[in-house]
Structure 1
Amino acid sequence: MKITIKYRLFASFLLLCGISAGAVEKMPTQHKTEPKQEAAKVEIRIHGVDKTLEKNIRAHLTLEQQRFHPNMGLSRIKRLLKQANTETRRALAPFGYYQAEIQIQHQKNTLADKPNKAPAWLVDIHIKTGEALKLQKREIKLQGAGEDDPMLLQVVKQFPLKVGDVLLQAQYETGKSSLLNAAQEQGYFDAKLLRHEILIDERAYTASIFLQLHTRQRYRFGEIHFTQRNPDKQKVDILAPELLQRFATFKPGEYYSNQKLQQFRQDLTASDYFSDVVVSINRAESQPASNHAGEKAVPVRVQVQANKPNRYSFALGYGTDTGPRANIAWDRRWVNQHGHYAHAELHYSQLRKSLSLVYSMPKADPRSEHLDLRAGYRNEDSDGRDYILYLLGVSRTRHRHLKTPWQELKLKENLFLDYRRERFKASATRYDTSTMLTPGIEWRYLKADEPLYTRNGYSLSLMLRGASSALLSDTNLLQTVFKGIYIFSPQRKHRLISRLEIGSSFMGNFEKVPASLRFLTGGDKSVRGYDYDSLGPKDDTGTLIGGTHLFVASTEYTYRVYGDWDVAAFYDLGNAFDDSKVALKHSLGFGIHWISPIGPIRLDLAFPLYDKEHRWRIHINMGPDL
């Protein structure tokens, strides 16, 4: 015999999820003592099932709901016990148990007359669940315009119930909802389930699922309409509509995709032009799609409120590389309707003073493409570097897609041309001046599960730059620098961090290469145990002059000991060197790190190895690992 279970199973599923048909009124607050709750008249004890099943059984039992009833006598007990068997079976069904053996016993409680207010009646429900019902057949059909839609087919493939699985109604409802939601997100707004049922063969004790979804037509994107408001909420076009249109990854007439719509909203928010962004559609406004007979298009309405045009920021910090430091920054979020923006930043620390100015202009894809005009001043005075640099530059940033055998990488590409005028310490007694025009290119890639405290992820960067004595430069130069960081968490509390940095320079006259373009290492983020930029070749007087090559490697292990605190152990090696001699420095150490809301704050103690001149050094720094 076969029976169809629809509404009864669905009601059981609702009870399983804790949905009640009634509502509880909130009583008004009264300033008086509430009466004490009466003791339960019935105690129900359920045997043979786990806590999840027991909870669902109690949710179905009328006896459970009425166990405080003041008139709970023998006649009422018997009447409710007659329902209890059916209600218990109904509660077991969503978990696949349809052949359970149920025995219900009741008795008068001999302790009911004692002053401890024991319940008057005891009810014991003994359950042997038996074998769970399994799925013998699963038939899910797609019809209409979306029958070959890859996303819908993927949802069908990932339906939570497979042949041979126990029939769990919660998973059936989840899978059914996922299919309908996926159809809506793909623009099949009129999609409808023509068939959705579970058939149970009681004799064979098997179940079959049948789902039939008719997607009907797929809607397309209509025109995008913008409503802009200034920071005072007055209607005004702060930015040109043509610029805002370029934030969309879709065009009117393309098939609707909720993923693209949400990405559009996120990109507008991330632009920093706006404090509030609302992107919506209304199916009631759908119209016939242009150039697509018989199809409909739904317009996209965007409401944005502009950020305040100016932003000021001030920050204080400390690091053993730099000592105390301060940053002051100003951002002009939008200069004109074309979306141009400006940035100025002043940095001051014991070792370095700098001022940078940037004027940026968005290009074809304003999400990632911009042309920057830059000017800067930098003054550094450390054991390894002593220079004053003036810089003028222009750069073009965009995203480039790189296909590999494993995956497609979205690289950030930066083409730049810098004019550098630098006065630097060339030896213990001599300063020199260098002029260089350095074109270059840099690629960056970052993948991280969390930006501030990455558990799994990696970053890669490769930079190439050069100069020619035939083009506004004092010497020839070709320089490349590679940096890589890899973070892996084998278990929740454990992290492994590996770092690698390699650099090489090929030049005509080393003495004409400015100090800022020579290689040095040592410090918080390279070879710990040594001072900032204190490792590298020296001249005959013992003055650091920097090298033409660089190699730094590090491995670190962190363990979460308590709350937001990690302990760390690390091993670093590296040095800057020239073509004549390579002598890598080694260090070993441990540390304690606090995972603050702005990223890890690290306190490390490092010990140089095989080096009698250096004993140990404390390092303090902060910021993300990638």
Structure 2
Amino acid sequence: MMTLTRLIFLLLLGSTSCHLMADTLSIDIDGVNAEQKLNIRSFLSLESLDGQPISNTSRLRYLHNLAEGEIKTALQPLGFYQPTIETNLSKKGQDWIAQYHIQPGKRLPITQLDIQLIGAAKDDVAFNQLLAKTSLRVGQPLVHSQYEQLKKQLSSLAVERGYYQAELTQHRVEVNLEDYSAAISLHMDSGPRFSVGEISFSPSPIDDDFIQSYASFKTGDPIQNSQLIELQSALIDSDYFQRVEVRPLWNQMSDTQVPVFVDLDANKKTKYQAGFGYGTDTGARTKLGMNKRWVNRQGHQFNTQLLASEIITNFSAEYSIPGTNPREDRYAVQLSLLDEDSDSINTRNYSIGVSKQQQRGRWQQVLALNYQQEESTFSGETDTSYFLIPQVNYNTVSTKNRLQVKNGYSFSSQLRGASQALISTEDFIQTRLNAKGIYSITDKFRLLGRAEVGTTWVNDFDQLPASLRFFTGGDNSVRGYDYKSLGPRDDDDDVVGGRNLLVGSVEVDYRLFENWGVAAFIDSGNAFNDTDLSLHTGIGVGLRWFSPVGPVRFDLAVPQDDDDDNGIHLHFNLGTDL
């Protein structure tokens, strides 16, 4: 007798053999474009058998018989109500072929269009602009998705602009196949437009009037969801608060005025910072900082920071005062003490200044006036200089995510100068431009470019201290060379900096894994005087760790100068790409 195990084995073997030998189905649709074909396949019941083994021919024929009706249904939302359809189901060898040749015919035209706004929205510019842009027009083909889209847009716009009682009182599409025409009727009754009532705040260490200055609306203005969300985001970004909730109080509504309540949880008043690290430009380094998130109820802030490394020590302090529009305007008084002692530079800089920061569209403008005293040593001689320097900066960054950049760019420009007539050692004008760009070639490959140019107009260059001269070389300049090791040299072959600057870089990186990648790059540039330009070039490869706080870069670069004896240089850097 056959054992149970052998019987089961033979049954499974027979089932598998039948499956392997079963006929398969392919579906062929022609006469329509890609959009129409995609919609047809989404309606076609036979699609579930496409490419599958056919074991039940009765079910195959049944689903094939449904296809003509399903194709007609699929074409109607696209405006085709009288298609010509030829169907055929045949078998060739071991394969079934379902063929559908379709002539969509003429799209159903809109012959009547009745769109009405009733209520306060009738005179609202935003609604009239929306209706002016709609694709629904008399004489145009009926496309159901356009009609549904307009319905959603009207409802969304009503909520956004404070018409909280709006409703579509009539929404109908009538199709007449006898005269092949369509009539659309779409009426919205917006009801009244609600406005902002009393604006109140939960207790906080910041004055209510100052918090109110973050809002782009006031009592009596039409209530708009986007402005409520905007206020919430702005207050969180201000760093005064750890939690912000802006909500309309509908249960306290009076007529059409809705009170708005802002619920606030303040951050800790003082934030302390400490960090340790290492950079190939600076060596071992440490950072200590204190941030007074608010000094008084008017939102003034005070920050101090000490950065110390093997070659640079910098202490800075800033007292900042919000402007009339604190989201865009800010005034500050700054103090800075800098001591730098590297192979190229020996300088001490003391400066105090005032600045005004203002957001102008996508650009940040900074106007500043700084007084600085600096002692610099070049060619064995130490000179002391004094400068009163007015300065203007413009900066912009365009990217969706600065920590993980796929595409984007940044640009910054600086113009500064001084005059002997205004407490300065020498007359000079200096400008500097910096641009970066990133473009994703594929999901894994990125192309990165960087360029920096600068120039100085000065009568006696020897009177300029180190902070006003150009140097190149290092992690963020020309890799393959030491920090600030490139530029014009004196008779002792010491780098003394130059009037002009030109640096360029091209890099390609490839993401091996989610958070790791490799890179190859070429940097070239130099600081120089007049037109005596001799570019220095570094070529190298690198490892990238895309950390939560931005990319960490490990680079090995080789200088291309015959007279460079230092060989391969290691560069380590942490910071955003833009």
What is the TM-score of this pair, normalised by structure 1?
0.72
The aligned residue for residue 249 of structure 2 is 282
1:207: Cα distance to partner? 6.0
Higher mean C-alpha deviation, range 473-482 or range 352-361:
473-482
| Matching of residue 261 in structure 1 with residue 212 in structure 2 | no
1:148: Cα distance to partner? 5.5
1:530 to 481, 491, 496: 481
The answer for unaligned runs of 5 or more in structure 2 is 1-24, 28-38, 49-61, 86-97
| Matching of residue 418 in structure 1 with residue 378 in structure 2 | no
Question: Cα deviation per residue 1:85-143 (whole Å; 9 max; x = unaligned)?
Answer: 9xx98x97898599999xxxxxxxxxxxxxxxxxxxxxxxx999988896643754434
Indicate conservation of the 8 Å contact 2:478/2:525, yes or no.
yes
Please tell me the residue identity of whatever aligns with 1:497: L
Question: Cα deviation per residue 1:571-594 (whole Å; 9 max; x = unaligned)?
Answer: 222110112621122233332322
The aligned residue for residue 218 of structure 1 is 193
Q: 1:150 to 1:603 in 2, by over 3 A?
A: farther
| Matching of residue 566 in structure 1 with residue 541 in structure 2 | no
Question: Cα deviation per residue 1:50-109 (whole Å; 9 max; x = unaligned)?
Answer: 885589999xxxxxxxxxxxxxxxxxxxxxx9xxx9xx98x97898599999xxxxxxxx
Indicate conservation of the 8 Å contact 1:136/1:207, yes or no.
yes
The aligned residue for residue 353 of structure 1 is 313
1:383 to 328, 336, 343: 343
1:329: Cα distance to partner? 1.4
The aligned residue for residue 326 of structure 1 is 286
1:451 to 398, 402, 411: 402
1:489 to 407, 419, 440: 440
Classify the secondary structure of the residue corresponding to 2:325. Answer: coil
1:499 to 450, 462, 466: 450
Classify the secondary structure of the residue corresponding to 1:613. Answer: coil
What is the distance in 2 between the residues matched to 1:139 and 1:570? 62
Please tell me the residue identity of whatever aligns with 2:208: P
Question: Cα deviation per residue 1:385-407 (whole Å; 9 max; x = unaligned)?
Answer: 2112222222121223xxxxxxx
The aligned residue for residue 421 of structure 2 is 470
Q: 1:127 to 1:179 in 2, by over 3 A?
A: farther
Indicate conservation of the 8 Å contact 2:540/2:558, yes or no.
yes
The aligned residue for residue 62 of structure 1 is none
| Matching of residue 603 in structure 1 with residue 563 in structure 2 | no
1:175: Cα distance to partner? 4.7
The aligned residue for residue 184 of structure 1 is 159
Indicate conservation of the 8 Å contact 2:540/2:555, yes or no.
yes
1:420: Cα distance to partner? 1.4
Question: Cα deviation per residue 1:135-164 (whole Å; 9 max; x = unaligned)?
Answer: 643754434332454543555577698964
Higher mean C-alpha deviation, range 387-396 or range 49-58:
49-58
What is the distance in 2 between the residues matched to 1:139 and 1:372? 58
Over aligned residue pairs, what C-alpha RMSD do you find?
A: 3.6
Indicate conservation of the 8 Å contact 2:75/2:81, yes or no.
no
Indicate conservation of the 8 Å contact 1:458/1:487, yes or no.
yes
What is the distance in 1 between the residues matched to 2:538 and 2:552? 20
**Kindly, what percent of the aligned residue pairs are identical?**
36
| Matching of residue 575 in structure 1 with residue 529 in structure 2 | no
Please tell me the residue identity of whatever aligns with 1:277: V
* Correspondence list, 1:189-338, <5 A: 189-201=164-176, 209-229=184-204, 238-287=205-254, 296-338=256-298
What is the distance in 1 between the residues matched to 2:399 and 2:171? 41
Question: Cα deviation per residue 1:24-68 (whole Å; 9 max; x = unaligned)?
Answer: xxxxxxxxxxxxxxxxxxxxxx9989885589999xxxxxxxxxx
Indicate conservation of the 8 Å contact 2:301/2:321, yes or no.
yes
What is the distance in 2 between the residues matched to 1:596 and 1:331? 25
Indicate conservation of the 8 Å contact 1:523/1:529, yes or no.
yes
The answer for unaligned runs of 5 or more in structure 1 is 1-45, 59-80, 102-125, 230-237, 289-295, 401-408
Indicate conservation of the 8 Å contact 1:228/1:306, yes or no.
no
What is the distance in 2 between the residues matched to 1:584 and 1:93? 65
1:210: Cα distance to partner? 3.3
Q: 1:157 to 1:448 in 2, by over 3 A?
A: farther
1:203: Cα distance to partner? 5.7
Question: Cα deviation per residue 1:445-488 (whole Å; 9 max; x = unaligned)?
Answer: 22212121222222222212222223222222221111111222
What is the distance in 2 between the residues matched to 1:57 and 1:520? 68
Indicate conservation of the 8 Å contact 1:426/1:511, yes or no.
no
The aligned residue for residue 369 of structure 1 is 329
> What is the count of residue pairs matched by the alignment?
509
Question: Cα deviation per residue 1:288-322 (whole Å; 9 max; x = unaligned)?
Answer: 6xxxxxxx433322111211101112223332222
What is the distance in 2 between the residues matched to 1:367 and 1:322? 35
Higher mean C-alpha deviation, range 199-208 or range 485-494:
199-208
What is the distance in 1 between the residues matched to 2:284 and 2:45? 59
Please tell me the residue identity of whatever aligns with 2:464: V
Indicate conservation of the 8 Å contact 2:418/2:424, yes or no.
yes
| Matching of residue 622 in structure 1 with residue 568 in structure 2 | no
Higher mean C-alpha deviation, range 238-247 or range 490-499:
490-499
Question: Cα deviation per residue 1:375-427 (whole Å; 9 max; x = unaligned)?
Answer: 12111122222112222222121223xxxxxxxx4321212122212222121
* Correspondence list, 1:21-100, <5 A: 53=43, 96=77
Indicate conservation of the 8 Å contact 2:81/2:108, yes or no.
no
Classify the secondary structure of the residue corresponding to 2:503. Answer: strand
Q: 1:198 to 1:324 in 2, by over 3 A?
A: farther
The aligned residue for residue 540 of structure 1 is 491
The aligned residue for residue 442 of structure 1 is 393
Classify the secondary structure of the residue corresponding to 2:274. Answer: strand
1:350: Cα distance to partner? 1.9
The aligned residue for residue 535 of structure 2 is 584
Classify the secondary structure of the residue corresponding to 1:146. Answer: helix
Please tell me the residue identity of whatever aligns with 2:449: S
What is the distance in 1 between the residues matched to 2:287 and 2:486? 27
What is the TM-score of this pair, normalised by structure 2?
0.78
Please tell me the residue identity of whatever aligns with 1:587: G
The aligned residue for residue 466 of structure 2 is 515
Higher mean C-alpha deviation, range 128-137 or range 203-212:
128-137
Q: 1:197 to 1:439 in 2, by over 3 A?
A: same
Q: 1:212 to 1:580 in 2, by over 3 A?
A: closer
The aligned residue for residue 127 of structure 2 is 152
Q: 1:206 to 1:454 in 2, by over 3 A?
A: farther
Classify the secondary structure of the residue corresponding to 2:467. Answer: helix
What is the distance in 2 between the residues matched to 1:515 and 1:559? 38
